[in-house]
Amino acid sequence: MDREKGLCRTRGLLLRNKTGQSLTPSSQRIDFRRRTHSPQEFDFPGYCLMGFSRNLYGYIRQRYAVRKITFMNPQHPYYLFSKDGREFAFICPGVGAPAAGMLLDETIRLGAGVILFWGTAGIFDRNLKDCLILPKDAVSGEGTSRYYGMDESPCRPDPELTARMESCFRKNRFPYAEGRVFTTDAPYRQTRESLMDIKNRDCIAVDMEASALFSVAAFYRKRIAGFLLPSDRVSEDGWEIHDPAHRPPMFRSTRLFELAVDILSGF
């Protein structure tokens, strides 16, 4: 009974959090970091790419004229660059819903209005191994989304940006599968029971950020979508980890980066 009362109080707190004004907004931290860490004057682009691959920083430096913005977090800098007359920001977020959600909150407060992310996911069907996963929505198994006002309903990406992604996948002949994903906070606690529950919700993959990113963007009424690259497969028989070296060439991180730039360039 005490546990049930505690859960009810937590739900009530999160419901009030949906409309309450934050006492700890990311905008205040941004202002503080600008004052105390050698403030850099810059116009932040409206288009932001979030790729979960640190080796892309070196690739972008070699290929584009880059302005590096480090005052928020030197370990996760923003790279500002342009292509075909459009300005972009790129950043490699931390892994997991809390880290990625915080960074997206800051990115939106800096000025981003259209965000495209890509990362990795575990799949259930081995036939999806060589496909990109295009989340049509995401079920939250993480804790961040609820602080941005989401209930138990699946979190959704921007439909027009998602349609733009599909168009680019088809144009560039990238195989993909569209479906629901489940976002978890505990990838090492995938049990047979939880796997059955996730599959019963019609999910085709498990990741660690999608539902949180969709929720943060929805809270601020910004546009976001993303795609995921299968990194492993889980089934009732166990866990199969994929070797990145054996991925098709089209799934190399630099190729996916250029695909993401192409998606936002035409949006």
> What domain count does the chain have?
1
Structure token digits, residue 56? 């892309």
Residue 6 domain flag: no
Is the separation of the CB atoms in 95 and 52 below 8 Å?
Answer: yes
127: Cβ–Cβ under 8 A, 6 or more apart, which residues?
none
CATH code (residue 64): 3.40.50.1580
Q: Identify whether 58 is part of a domain.
A: yes
Q: What is the pTM of this model?
A: 0.90
Residue 2 lies in a domain: no
Query: pLDDT 10s per residue in the chain (267 long)?
Result: 444 444 444 455 555 556 678 898 888 988 898 888 766 677 899 999 999 999 999 999 999 999 999 888 888 999 999 999 999 999 999 999 999 999 999 999 999 999 999 999 999 999 999 999 999 999 999 999 999 987 778 899 999 999 999 999 999 999 999 999 999 999 999 999 999 999 999 999 999 999 999 999 999 999 999 999 999 999 888 898 887 777 777 788 999 999 999 999 988
CA 158 vs. chain centroid, Å, equals 13
Instruction: Give pLDDT, residue 6.
Output: 44
Tokens of 182: 């489940």
- In whole angstroms, give the CA distance from residue 162 to residue 215: 16
pLDDT value at residue 3 = 47
* Residue 206 within a domain: yes
